[in-house]
Structure 1
């Protein structure tokens, strides 16, 4: 029964939380402990391998190869994994990422409650990315994505595009603007023959690393064709050259309040980061109020 509830929650909670009518809503689950701790306000932040998810243009600022591996302890025991590799080249930066969600195994029964074995459910997303610098301060990038969902003997797949840009302002030091459109595409094969739209998303943000305070802040507006704007704010405090404290807030938390004491934390996120030589270790926690918390662990390597 617990596993059945896990599958139900994993498939439907993103839809309820985001009020989306589109399918493939798992695409909206933020990846990476560092960005998630900043409330996923990351569309204008560059030089991080997680940009392959948040804004592929940001990969163009990487001067060395980078790899990242992440794990999400999702609500109700659903397991999420994310891995990415980025290779800068004189012609631009190339990247590849794989995102996998495992809902576990479930007991198959007939209408009389008799057990007939078990079945599984999972999602897979493969990212192929390219980005480059144009006119010194302008970064452009894009992803081609292949998506596949499996439930027992049924499957669905789709192809989508992400397009993004980041501009480093010449008027103010360390000020960047970012914009992107995500999940442009179509479902190729549906579970039941009815092809739903992909969860199209538009994002615009600004970020700045302050000159006299060890703080990087980021503000992002997120919209889609059907819903009101969502606002995200995140900050990263440098406690030392190798230690970081991160905080964030997402206005999505207002829709997760159900009148309990846990409501006060809905939409908040917090995290820590530690750097050791070329290794980066990050932890992030996002609160969904009474629904529960998402805990993320990530490790990145720059080489």
Structure 2
């Protein structure tokens, strides 16, 4: 909208076309703005899908964020974005996202009274899909966005459909410093490329203006410890086809336990805005909130981001704020086998469940396998895990089960089981003791049956024999019995008692 303000009256429509184009260059979100708009190679931030749609492939199980900013010349910008995992026939971690952005300003007159005041606004709606995949053990994510843009100035308006595409690589977490403290113990490298705003010209009346088709390439290096120091170093190269040459951007972020983050960036792009950006974040986890079960909610966090740019000779300092809500506990996973109600043909069974992960970059997930003959006891244990994780872990230290195993793998073999019904469940937990049971609510406990033996005496015969004495009780007692059940009988003992009156 600033372009419209600086244009003569007779070119308002053309200026608004350029303004709409400029709006499409923005990467919403105060965190990314505090890093000078970097996003092509960054992981663990949903807003970066506007720079590289592939970034959504490594996003959290769900996330939403709202952003508001007051920029130059009383213009304001608001956006809302939501993303979630989607189970598809080929993957349980496909990602679907939706975004809505709005840019507007109060009625204005830049003609010094020559014409009446007018209003202006831009609206952008986005739907995106991303898919993570692995090639030769390397992790990648491919994504695409479909966008609808509408721009309005006074009685003039125009709209356009466009598309984005991007690819992101993320390394596995590797050991960085072999330190016993909380200082840069692990590292992760990511890199990506993206192209945005592919579409037809934006046309108000007869002449069209090309959309700002933008190519981006970027890298990021993350290092840290889950409960200690964390650092992100990132860089982007951005080129808009309607502009001369490209521009580099650099940014860094320093955090302590992800509770408090400070960041800054520098954009070498030559425009009327400032080159320097800065920002900070405050994160409130459920364990640190007095009403954690309500806000931010169990296993969730709420993050507040603020960003600002330096003031220039032409424009005042722009500010931007975001609120982001997302999970910090283990992601959802399901039990696999044996299927509920299975009858096992032997006294051994292999239990299997899906793998899960903790979304925080430096956190780990372990599993707690519980097997019990009493289904009510197991159900009460899972209910306790839902109510209070502190009480749950304390109870686990003092409660016995048929099987209670802490594991890092997704399978466990049970052997030499007695016949009968068995009930089992698996809980995943991280280093902050966020707990999540496998499966959807109400279907966290599965049952399998080991067939029991059924021993029956089929006959008792006595062969009288006076070989030793003339007593009527001298002879051979023949007892025959059979297993009529479906389970094997082992270590069978027969006890015989006599009774003489």
TM-score normalised to structure 2 length: 0.52
Structure 2 residue 191 is the aligned partner of structure 1 residue 177: yes
Answering whether residue 123 of structure 2 is matched by residue 124 of structure 1, we say: yes
Residues 1:191 and 2:191 aligned together: no
Show CA shifts across 1:69-120 (max 9, x none): 00011101101101101011123111110110112223699x99585xx532
Q: Which residue of 2 aligns with 1:271?
A: 279
**Equivalent residue, structure 2, for 1:261:** none
RMSD: 2.9
Answer yes or no: is 1:285 the counterpart of 2:308. Answer: yes
Q: CA deviation at 1:63?
A: 3.3
Among 25, 29, 35, the alignment partner of 1:28 is: 25
1:134 and 2:136 are equivalent in the alignment: no
| Deviation, structure 1 residue 237 | 0.3
Structure 1 match to 2:267: 250
Asked which structure has the greater RCO (Cα within 8 Å, sep 6+), the reply is 1
Deviation at 1:256, TM superposition (A): 4.0
| Larger fraction in helix | 1
**The 10-residue stretch of structure 1 (58-67 or 163-172) with the greater mean CA deviation from structure 2:** 163-172
SS at match of 2:55: helix
Q: Is the 8 A contact 1:45 1:176 kept in 2?
A: yes
**Gap runs ≥5 in structure 2:** 9-16, 89-93, 175-186, 286-300, 328-501
Q: Partner residue of 1:236?
A: 253
CA distance in 2 between partners of 1:5 and 1:45 (Å): 29
The aligned counterpart of 1:168 is 170
Residue 56 of structure 2: which of 50, 55, 59 is its match? Answer: 59
State how far apart, in whole Å, the 2-side matches of 1:199 and 1:177 are.
23
**Aligned pair in 2 of structure 1 residues 140, 106: CA closer, same or farther (>3 Å)?**
same
| Structure 2 CA distance for aligned equivalents of residues 40 and 112 of structure 1 | 37
Q: Which residue of 40, 44, 49 corresponds with 1:47? A: 44
Q: Aligned partners of 2:84, 2:167: CA distance in 1, in Å?
A: 19
State how far apart, in whole Å, the 1-side matches of 2:2 and 2:22 are. Answer: 18
Report if aligned partners of 1:137, 1:168 keep a CA contact under 8 Å in 2. yes
Matches of 2:7 and 2:46, distance apart in 1: 26
Q: Could you tell me how far apart the structure 2 residues matched to 1:148 and 1:271 are?
A: 30
Q: Secondary structure at the match of 1:63?
A: coil
- Please say which structure displays the higher CA radius of gyration: 2
What runs of 5+ residues in structure 1 fail to find an aligned partner?
Answer: 12-19, 258-265
Structure 1 residue ranges, 4+ long, deviating more than 3 angstroms after superposition: 4-7, 20-23, 106-109, 111-115, 169-173, 254-257
Residue 296, structure 1, aligned to residue 320, structure 2: yes
1:76 aligns to what SS in structure 2?
helix
Is the 2:32–2:48 Cα contact (8 Å) retained in structure 1? no
Give the Å deviation of 1:10. Answer: 9.9
Are the equivalent residues in 1 in contact too, given 2:27–2:48 (CA < 8 A)? no
Q: 1:112 to 1:238 in 2, by over 3 A?
A: closer
Distance in 2 (alpha carbons) for counterparts of 1:97 and 1:256:
28
Does residue 153 in structure 1 map to residue 166 in structure 2?
A: no
Partner deviation per Cα, 1:122-168 (whole Å, 9 max, x = no partner): 00000010001021600110100000001112110011111011101
CA distance in 1, matches of 2:120, 2:261: 36
Cα distance in 2 between the residues matched to 1:83 and 1:10? 30
CA contact (8 A) 1:23 1:199 kept: no
2:219 is matched with 206
Q: Distance in 1 between matches of 2:162 and 2:2?
A: 29
- Report the Cα distance in structure 2 between the residues aligned to 1:166 and 1:114, rounded to whole angstroms: 49
Q: Which moved more, 1:163-172 or 1:275-284?
A: 163-172
Go from structure 1 to structure 2 and tell me whether the alpha carbon gap of 1:22 and 1:100 turns closer, same or farther (over 3 Å shift): closer
The normalised TM-score by structure 1 is: 0.83
- After superposition, the Cα gap between the structure-2 partners of 1:108 and 1:272, relative to the gap in structure 1 and judged at 3 Å, is closer
- 1:17 aligned partner: none
Deviates more, 1:133-142 or 1:123-132: 133-142
Residues 108 and 25 (structure 1 numbering): CA distance in 2 closer, same or farther, change over 3 Å?
closer
Quick check: 2:162–2:198 contact (8 Å CA) kept in 1? Answer: yes
Point out the more displaced range, 22-31 or 127-136.
Answer: 22-31
1:173-216 deviation digits (Å, cap 9, x = unpaired): 400111100111113x6212111110011000110112586210
